[in-house]
Structure 1
Amino acid sequence: MEKLVVLLVSLFLMFFKGQNGMAPDSCPSQQCPQYKLINKNQDFEERLYDATKWITTKIESSAYADLMAAHSRLKDYCERQNNAGYTIADDTWPVVITVTEGHDLSMSWFVAPGTAIPENTDHSVTLQSKPATTVYVRPFTGTPGIQPAQENANALLEALDKNCANLPTYSGVGYESYYAVTHHNEVWIYDYDINYKKAK
């Protein structure tokens, strides 16, 4: 499963929504999830994120065509809602690919605060609301690829004393096009997922 996540992290960076992504410390307040840095060490950051909303769609498999299809569903959803008179930005960051229970895959785009979203009739796209929560984050730079993503995912899990194969949910996060000059990539693990695992 580790290889699948690493592959997803490297692939999804290749078809981000826009050409100019932004690292968290330079994101406008409405374009990225806001957080307070609680702790930082050489291995990871502990961030307290505000409550957030996301539009999310399932990824059928790790095949490139399925990743592209998920991206297109989110893009089309935003366009349809904008044509209907709602303003749902499709240039927010980051793009998140999440692996749940080791096999369910999804792609999510951040919804800017204050965005009015109509009742959803598209069952392939869901609106997710996440409460304010602690997220453990390992940022890393460099061109996205299998080896650096794998190294950083494993390093975060080891720093948290967790094993990737046993972790219920974890995410690969990115802020730039694959073709950007510089890259800010991250691996996220939510505190409630760690607590969920401990409670099982």
Structure 2
Amino acid sequence: MKCLQLRTVHTLLFAALTLAPLLEAQGWTAPGFCHGYNCPQFTAVQINQDTEERAYTASRWITTKVPSAETEDVKAGNYKLYNYFKGDNEEGTDVPMNTWPVLVTMTVGEDGSESNVSVSWFVSADTVLPKPTDPSVTEELRPAATVYVRTFSGFVSHALGQDNAKQLREALVQAGKSFEPHRYTGAVYDSPWDIIHTHHNEIWVYAA
């Protein structure tokens, strides 16, 4: 019990020190596509017809690597994270699943090949995270960043994400924006079983 208490105190102190910018920001209202759930906080810097520039604060994620961004691999990664949140951790406790989005992040080579693919679930700053029992599941702290965003609807797929990433990069080149050419992220804000909402999806490209 004492070990558990010390670990909890350590986790709370770590979150307070590392994520202070998140906790200090007051009055932010999550956009409607978050459906009333917690989302990573951002400020809209510029909104154009096809792209949006956002300034994100530091954020916290639970992440696992997957072999590819194909549907079955992403689905397996999501199940692994779901199991962690439902008690597959050293404390055997449930972690609140009241956040969006789910991210799929990948590195793109010069030949268009994709590698270093990961699936991530957003975690609120005040959530105490037990240690995973699966070593492939890790906590990730993403620093504040400027992100260029393209929004698209429909049931997401790997091919649809690739097409929108290509269109976003082309729009950024035309706009004279500097960005990381070999990394992008797909963000999903709706369950694949949700037939009520129109499915808000995004592609994120990171400013250089």
How high is the TM-score relative to the length of structure 1?
A: 0.71
Deviation at 1:79, TM superposition (A): 1.4
Secondary structure of 1:71 counterpart: helix
**8 Å contact from structure 1 (residues 82, 88) kept in 2:** no
Number of aligned residues: 166
Change (3 A) 1:147 1:59: closer
Which residue is equivalent to 2:31?
A: 25
Deviation at 1:86, TM superposition (A): 5.5
* Unmatched segments (≥5 aa) in structure 2: 1-29, 109-113, 175-179
1:168 aligns with 2:182: yes
Which residue is equivalent to 1:116?
A: 128
Of 168-177 and 82-91, more deviation after overlay is shown by 82-91
Alignment of 1:1-200 (within 5 A): 25-26=31-32, 27=34, 31-80=38-87, 84=91, 88-101=95-108, 102-145=114-157, 148-161=160-173, 167-179=181-193, 180-181=195-196, 182-191=198-207, 195=208
Counterpart of 2:205, as a letter, is I
% same residue: 42
Of 97-106 and 144-153, more deviation after overlay is shown by 144-153
Of 45-54 and 88-97, more deviation after overlay is shown by 88-97
Change (3 A) 1:135 1:114: same
Give CA-to-partner distance per residue, 1:50-108, whole Å, 9 cap, x none: 11000000112345443232111101111126893756222410011111243121100
* Unmatched segments (≥5 aa) in structure 1: 1-23, 196-200
Distance in 2, matches of 1:70 and 1:143, equals 18
The structure with higher relative contact order (CA 8 Å, sep 6+) is: 1
Q: CA RMSD in A?
A: 2.7
Could you list the structure 1 runs, at least 4 aligned residues long, displaced by more than 4 angstroms after superposition. 145-148
Larger radius of gyration: 2
Distance in 2, matches of 1:140 and 1:64, equals 18
**8 Å contact from structure 1 (residues 39, 47) kept in 2:** yes
Deviation at 1:145, TM superposition (A): 4.8
